[in-house]
């Protein structure tokens, strides 16, 4: 009888469990059918369009015009660069930082008189590519066809083909979208806007978003490419372009980290009996240091300089190698910082060496990096000072769009020559003295390409890399040197002894990736790429973005020693973790903005991204819709 009761109770209990499980409702906002998934995607996308109006990120677009080459496929044949701050409050607008007078302005491709009617690119149109459709992204205007599931990095996605409904209108998106399968946010879309005409064009693009905060996927990278685009009857355009966005959280990141990090207090040491007074020399050094810190802090606050991070530590290690082997004892200590921009430039702020992200990206190995740093260290050793009036805080209170006019740290030709000579001396005494063949190749490749990429090598705050240092006096006369012999080249280049295996320079985005929320720069961690064909080397060239997507994780609550000011240095060999660039990968108008138009545009169509018109008289801007 006892056994029977037990069995009955067990049966009742299991029955209750089954009915409870069957009756457990799904989360109310979790889609159950594909139609509900599409409804959620549309809702999230329209919500993001509204949320983006709260942000004013920095937007950088770099364009390379192309020409066919019988051996390399296509190579650069002119370029254009634009840096501005997005303003979504009244549509898709950019406020230029590189030219105070270019708001809403077209810019010409940097190719001289190659075109009798020059193609003009419109920055706002490239920014438009971060949006699918700001005027009716819904089932009434689009048809959604499910394709498959697919992983983008660690993020599992649902893939849909999206096509405009019949009579949906001009400027609608046509292509494919990737939707992450937890909250159903669009993380990537690839295609073009429809409706190009004879005087205006929409370009193809691949737009990526990253998970900057919980549930928030922000536009981060856009790659655009066009081949055989015919205009002006007999003209043809080939180009590739990269657009990067960052600085969504400017002014707040440091505040959040300061209030969230855990400080581990250490005992306070009584130094009241030690010598704490400053001599005049020490006071001057302290004043100089304050000027350095003021400028660096200002550049970081407006998003032009990255916070201290792992890339700075790699540069610090190279500086340390040069100092130790040359018996240098420099006070205050030499520090390194990195600009966020793609243009190739370097300069010093007193004892702070500044390199752009772009120059770090394209350097092929550690010895080449040391060559650039040695030149800037030469300025420090020779006592070339900065303008110390920046120690007064009122000198920093300038409008963002005046930054490049207000700040300038380029050196005189005499100072450059002296720093070059000192750099050769430093390199000859350094551990890099037998590894400079690739640095010589890098500078030779840059000099050979300078006419095709004038905007990439045009410095905004410092000096062009071409003026940095002549390594002929320092580089050994070896023609078969293998860049893989250098510590930095082990993961960056294929290990082969042949001369044709040497990589003179990497493509843009070959080393560094950026965090669009905190503006942090990190080294790309990639697998070895094996043998590289000649046309795959692509020195200084634009390549597609292909980021490894991950979901947001909060790593801010880490213990920090409150009394420790020194930062741990990492091995400089980490600077060479390159390989294939894994580039990661634009606002409000009634229709999408085409990326190209001609001067014949009468303003009745949506605002374009590029125009083709006479290169002498400047065509009028097409009117906004």
- Comparing 547 with 592, the larger pLDDT belongs to 547
Confidence of residue 103 (pLDDT cuts 50, 70, 90): very low
pLDDT at 593: 52
Burial track 88-98 (b if 16+ CB lie within 10 A, e otherwise):
beebbbbbbbb
- Comparing 312 with 459, the larger pLDDT belongs to 312
Per-residue pLDDT of 307-355, as tens digits, reads 999 999 999 999 999 999 999 999 999 999 999 999 999 999 999 999 9
Taking alpha carbons only, the member of 181, 188, 209, 214 closest to residue 552 is: 214
pLDDT at 468: 53
CA 608, 83, 288: angle at the middle one, nearest 5? 170
Confidence of residue 428 (pLDDT cuts 50, 70, 90): very high
pLDDT at 115: 36
**Would the pLDDT of 85 be above 70?**
yes
Taking alpha carbons only, the member of 91, 84, 85, 83 closest to residue 53 is: 91
Q: What are phi and psi of 507, to 5 degrees?
A: -70, 165
The two three-digit tokens of residue 320, written as one number: 């340390």
Per-residue pLDDT of 367-389, as tens digits, reads 999 999 999 999 999 999 899 89
Q: Do residues 583 and 221 touch, judged by C-beta distance below 8 A?
A: yes
The two three-digit tokens of residue 419, written as one number: 């720093």
Q: How far apart are CA 564 and CA 560, in angstroms?
A: 8
The average pLDDT across 447-472 equals 80
Greatest pairwise CA separation for the chain in angstroms: 106
Q: For all residues of the chain together, what is the average pLDDT?
A: 78
3 state SS for 510-573: CCEEECCCCCCEEECCCCCCCCCCHHHCCCCCCCCCCCCCCCCCCCCCCEEECCCCCCCCCCHH
CA 263, 268, 269: angle at the middle one, nearest 5? 145
CA 518, 523, 525: angle at the middle one, nearest 5? 120
Place of tokens 């230029």: 96
**Would the pLDDT of 267 be above 60?**
yes
Confidence of residue 119 (pLDDT cuts 50, 70, 90): low
Q: Do residues 224 and 129 touch, judged by C-beta distance below 8 A?
A: yes
The average pLDDT across 598-614 equals 45
Torsion over CA of 501, 505, 507 and 513, rounded to 10 degrees? 110
Confidence of residue 459 (pLDDT cuts 50, 70, 90): confident
Q: Do residues 121 and 595 touch, judged by C-beta distance below 8 A?
A: yes
Confidence of residue 27 (pLDDT cuts 50, 70, 90): low
Distances in whole angstroms, Cα of residue 58 to Cα of each of 113, 301, 375:
31, 12, 30
Q: Do residues 86 and 94 touch, judged by C-beta distance below 8 A?
A: yes
pLDDT at 376: 95
Q: Do residues 217 and 179 touch, judged by C-beta distance below 8 A?
A: no
Q: How far apart are CA 527 and CA 121, in angstroms?
A: 36
Starting at the earlier edge strand, list the strands of the sheet with 345-349: 335-339, 352-356, 345-349, 463-464
**Would the pLDDT of 249 be above 80?**
yes
**Would the pLDDT of 608 be above 60?**
no
- Comparing 574 with 146, the larger pLDDT belongs to 146
- Comparing 468 with 159, the larger pLDDT belongs to 159
pLDDT at 171: 85
The average pLDDT across 94-115 equals 52
Q: How far apart are CA 181 and CA 31, in angstroms?
A: 10
pLDDT at 485: 39
Q: Do residues 102 and 200 touch, judged by C-beta distance below 8 A?
A: no
pLDDT at 483: 38
pLDDT at 202: 83
pLDDT at 611: 55
**Would the pLDDT of 466 be above 70?**
no
Q: How far apart are CA 80 and CA 462, in angstroms?
A: 19
Say what the pTM is.
0.79
Torsion over CA of 422, 425, 431 and 437, rounded to 10 degrees? 90
Helices 366-381, 413-428: inter-axial angle, 10-degree rounding: 120
Q: How far apart are CA 62 and CA 84, in angstroms?
A: 12
The average pLDDT across 571-577 equals 40
Per-residue pLDDT of 126-175, as tens digits, reads 999 999 998 889 999 999 999 999 999 999 999 999 999 988 888 899 99
The two three-digit tokens of residue 275, written as one number: 């010598």
Per-residue pLDDT of 354-364, as tens digits, reads 999 999 999 99
pLDDT at 579: 39
The average pLDDT across 292-297 equals 94
């Amino acid at each position: 009888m006892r056994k029977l009761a037990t069995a009955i109770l067990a049966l009742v209990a299991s029955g209750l469990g089954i009915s409870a499980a069957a009756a457990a409702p799904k989360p109310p906002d979790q889609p159950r059918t594909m139609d509900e998934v599409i409804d959620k995607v549309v809702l999230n996308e329209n919500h993001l369009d509204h949320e983006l109006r709260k942000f004013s990120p920095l937007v950088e677009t770099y364009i390379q015009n192309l020409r066919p080459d019988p051996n390399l496929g296509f190579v650069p044949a002119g370029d254009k660069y634009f840096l501005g701050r997005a303003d979504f409050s009244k549509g898709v607008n950019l406020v230029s930082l590189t030219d105070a007078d270019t708001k809403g302005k077209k810019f010409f491709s940097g190719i001289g008189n190659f075109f009798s009617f020059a193609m003009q690119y419109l920055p706002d149109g490239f920014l438009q590519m971060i949006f699918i459709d700001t005027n009716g992204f819904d089932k009434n205007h689009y048809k959604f066809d499910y394709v498959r599931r697919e992983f983008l990095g660690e993020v599992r996605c649902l893939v849909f083909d999206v096509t405009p409904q019949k009579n949906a209108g001009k400027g609608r998106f046509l292509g494919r979208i990737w939707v992450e399968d937890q909250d159903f946010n669009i993380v990537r879309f690839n295609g073009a806007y429809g409706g190009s005409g004879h005087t205006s064009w929409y370009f193809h693009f691949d737009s990526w978003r990253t998970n900057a905060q919980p549930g928030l996927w922000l536009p981060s990278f856009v790659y655009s490419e066009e081949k055989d685009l015919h205009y002006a009857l007999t003209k043809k355009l080939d180009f590739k372009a990269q657009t990067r966005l960052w600085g969504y959280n400017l002014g707040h990141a440091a505040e959040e980290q300061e209030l969230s990090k855990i400080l581990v207090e250490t005992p306070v040491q009584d130094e009241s009996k030690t010598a704490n007074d400053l001599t005049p020399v020490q006071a001057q050094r302290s004043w100089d240091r304050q000027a350095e810190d003021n400028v660096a802090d200002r550049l970081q606050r407006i998003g032009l300089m990255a916070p201290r991070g792992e890339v700075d530590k790699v540069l610090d290690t190279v500086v340390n190698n040069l100092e130790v082997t040359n018996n240098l004892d420099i006070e205050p200590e030499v520090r390194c910082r990195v600009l966020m921009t793609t243009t190739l430039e370097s300069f010093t702020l007193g004892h702070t060496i500044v390199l752009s992200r772009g120059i770090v990206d394209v350097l092929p190995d550690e010895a080449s990096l040391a060559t650039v740093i040695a030149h800037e260290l030469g300025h420090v050793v020779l006592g070339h000072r900065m303008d110390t009036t920046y120690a007064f805080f009122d000198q920093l209170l300038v409008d963002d769009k005046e930054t490049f006019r207000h700040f300038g740290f380029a050196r005189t030709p005499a100072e450059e020559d002296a720093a070059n000579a000192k750099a050769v001396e430093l390199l000859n005494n350094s551990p890099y003295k037998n590894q400079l063949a690739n640095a010589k190749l890098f500078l030779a490749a840059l000099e050979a390409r300078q006419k095709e990429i004038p905007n990439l090598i045009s410095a905004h705050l410092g000096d062009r890399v071409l003026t940095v240092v002549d390594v002929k006096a320092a580089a050994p006369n070896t023609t078969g040197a293998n860049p893989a012999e250098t510590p930095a080249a082990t993961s960056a280049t294929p290990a082969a002894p042949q001369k044709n295996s040497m990589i003179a320079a990497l493509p843009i985005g070959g080393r560094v990736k950026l965090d669009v929320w905190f503006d942090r720069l990190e080294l790309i961690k990639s697998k070895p790429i094996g043998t590289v064909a000649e046309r795959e080397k692509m020195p200084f060239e634009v390549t597609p973005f292909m980021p490894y997507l991950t979901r947001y994780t909060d790593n801010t609550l880490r213990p920090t020693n409150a009394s420790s000011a020194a930062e741990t240095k990492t091995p400089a060999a980490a600077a060479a973790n390159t390989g294939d660039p894994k580039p990661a990968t634009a606002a409000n108008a009634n229709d999408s903005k085409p990326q190209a138009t001609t001067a014949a545009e009468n303003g009745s169509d949506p605002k374009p991204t590029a125009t083709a018109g006479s290169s002498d008289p400047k065509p009028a801007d097409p009117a906004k819709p």
